[in-house]
Structure 1
Amino acid sequence: MDKTYATPAAFDRALKKAAKTAGNNLGEAYRQALRDRFLCRVFHDGNEGFVLKGAGGMLARVPNARATRDLDFAVAGHAGIDQVLAEMERIASIDLNDWCSFRLTKSEESMDENGYSRLLKLRFASFVGMEEKDPILIDLSLDCVMTRPPERITPANRIDVEGLETCDYLIYPLADQLADKFCAIMEVQPGGHPSSRMKDLVDVVTYATSECFELSQLRHAITSECVKRGMTMPKRFDAPESWRERFAGFATKNRVVEEFASFDEASNLASKLFDAALSDESEDDLVWNPGDLCWSVRPV
């Protein structure tokens, strides 16, 4: 099949034009456009083998969320490392007639920051024609447990380039993503040290101000994540006090709305969101309302 654009240079110009039109930081938007070409291969033809999670999944929901240069995936189902690598290389090599190509240059088995999930850390060199671009860096979780089916969505952060074949993304369930962030913030680290994952409070604020989700699903996801980590279910949400002095600058840098850029306001919002899920007295049929920033009865 013929390429959508006659030459790599013509395609690259179209990418840059689309990135500029998007009105974002040009370099960031260009990188996002290339990541989208990779992700369209991952999810091509309805592929369900991998699920996008982390900041990449958040940006697909909320395009003004904090930026990231990495992609986080969960393996859907059970597969050995060799099988996972072979499948990722296969889908990365799919030709979408766009002059992009991706070549695996590094793979390393590791553990996630919390020490609970096995990871494959992958590096794909990316090319437009023969010109090498920024690499695609991937953390691939091998043993994530989802309490809900993943969601297939059209990414809100897509940089639209005329004439290209695109695919929807398969996204990690929102309740499970929030539960992971809740536990990452609350969990005491070895030696009794508090969590250092301040970015997770930023992400909680982003979700709370933009997304709807059901209380029953969030409660179930938090319970499941606490069991996985061997954590006692907390009675209430508390962000580490050690974050107080640094949070405002970090939040502003990472696009948190001004109203919640202070440690107290962000923590209070997160408490309002999570504490209902930790209480036995809250009704299961409540839904989070991001407009009013409160739990409300599900509309009939």
Structure 2
Amino acid sequence: MKKRLGAFAKQHGLNSALVFRSFYFSRLATRVFRHDPDGWLLKGGQALLLRYPTQARLSRDIDLQRSTAESAQEALSALLDAAALDLEDFFTFSPTSMVEHSNEIGGAKQTFTVTLGTRVLDTIKVDLVAGRYPTGTPEKVSLASSSLMPWPDDWPFVQLYPLADHVADKICAMYERHRGAASSRFRDLADLLLISQQESLSGTAVQIALSSEVHRRTRLGTDLTLPDRFIIPDPSWVRGYPTAAAEVVGLRGCLSLTDAQVAAEAFITPMLNGASAGRWNPHTSAWSNAG
């Protein structure tokens, strides 16, 4: 395992620790979706890695949504049951600390110690959410598509958070403010631009998802006002964005904020001002008039 994953990291110029951690995430996700195939949604960076293997950034945690839970405690109980499954792969995920999100109802972060046999390998974190309902239909993808190892070979299908909702989530995260401070989620813009280079999106689906997500966040008291066109959230993005963009190895261009702003004007502005009624074409980098 060490030799194969290390060689992959070196070949693609990736952080080897994050490559190993991504593999551990996949073994935990295997337990989660074996335990309850229809009860979870995979979100965040790990979902993007399944959509775009070797192109999306390597994530430092895994985001899971419990579809049938109304509280963080209910979702946590299901997660711990799943993590305890013995899949005869010699991995053990032992829960340690748990912290409920202070800025979100139904959210928590659970930490696990990862052990292979008797050797402690790493500590990983799971961002857990409950009580959310996406507007789109989840997509099923095999975890095998991200596997770098010939064994284990028991990869299940997982449910991905719908893409339109994923896009809406990232747009809102870029523009929400906390205690008056602007967002520093530079990676969300890089992720959105990667999506724009890979996917054909329904403008109507994104508009529905965006409206729903804005309503959900503001109802919970989040300071969020979307602009009617793409704007840089804060001057700190001039320095912060390029570092985040460099981690998205499949991103074509858009490595400086100046270049990213041009691409974001084409992709994000029509979603903000309601002009994205048709479909996004990743080949022409434009919204069409036909849905």
TM-score range, shorter chain: 0.7 to 0.9
* Pair 1:173 & 2:173 matched: no
Distance 1:178 1:254, change over 3 A: same
Is 1:125–1:136's contact at 8 Å kept on the other side of the alignment?
yes
TM-score, normalised by the number of residues in structure 2: 0.85
Match of 1:6 in 2: none
Is 2:72–2:129's contact at 8 Å kept on the other side of the alignment?
no
Alpha-carbon distance in structure 2 between the residues aligned to 1:16 and 1:298: 49
Q: Return 5+ residue gaps in structure 2 as ranges.
A: 219-223
Distance 1:19 1:165, change over 3 A: same
Q: How far apart are 1:163 and its partner, in Å? A: 5.0
Paired residue secondary structure (1:47): coil
Match of 2:48 in 1: 58
Match of 2:221 in 1: none
Alpha-carbon distance in structure 2 between the residues aligned to 1:224 and 1:79: 18
Q: How far apart are 1:279 and its partner, in Å? A: 3.6
Deviations 1:245-283 (A, max 9, x none): 44334422443636211112212212211222234454x
Match of 2:65 in 1: 74
* Pair 1:235 & 2:228 matched: yes
Alpha-carbon distance in structure 1 between the residues aligned to 2:118 and 2:290: 53
Deviations 1:148-176 (A, max 9, x none): 12211124432232352111221111111
* Pair 1:290 & 2:282 matched: yes
Is 2:71–2:106's contact at 8 Å kept on the other side of the alignment?
no
Match of 2:257 in 1: 263
How many residue pairs match? The answer is: 279
Deviations 1:111-159 (A, max 9, x none): 3xxx344321101111111111112211101232311122111244322
1:198 pairs, out of 177, 186, 200, with: 186
* Pair 1:110 & 2:98 matched: no
Matches within 5 A, 1:98-177: 98-111=89-102, 115-155=103-143, 156-162=145-151, 164-177=153-166
RMSD: 2.4
Paired residue secondary structure (1:190): coil
Larger radius of gyration: 1
Paired residue secondary structure (1:32): helix
Amino acid at match of 1:159: L
Match of 1:274 in 2: 268
Amino acid at match of 2:123: P
Amino acid at match of 2:195: Y
Alpha-carbon distance in structure 2 between the residues aligned to 1:55 and 1:271: 23
Q: How far apart are 1:76 and its partner, in Å? A: 0.6
Is 1:70–1:139's contact at 8 Å kept on the other side of the alignment?
yes
Q: How far apart are 1:84 and its partner, in Å? A: 2.3
Sequence identity (%): 28
Matches within 5 A, 1:175-190: 175-190=164-179
Alpha-carbon distance in structure 1 between the residues aligned to 2:207 and 2:46: 24
Match of 1:93 in 2: 84
Amino acid at match of 2:285: L
1:31 pairs, out of 21, 34, 42, with: 21
Q: How far apart are 1:223 and its partner, in Å? A: 1.0
TM-score, normalised by the number of residues in structure 1: 0.83
Match of 1:4 in 2: none
Alpha-carbon distance in structure 1 between the residues aligned to 2:166 and 2:274: 22
Distance 1:50 1:208, change over 3 A: same
Alpha-carbon distance in structure 2 between the residues aligned to 1:281 and 1:52: 29
Is 2:142–2:157's contact at 8 Å kept on the other side of the alignment?
yes
Match of 1:210 in 2: 198
Amino acid at match of 1:170: Q
Amino acid at match of 1:160: M
Distance 1:265 1:256, change over 3 A: farther
Q: Return 5+ residue gaps in structure 1 as ranges.
A: 1-14
Is 2:62–2:126's contact at 8 Å kept on the other side of the alignment?
yes
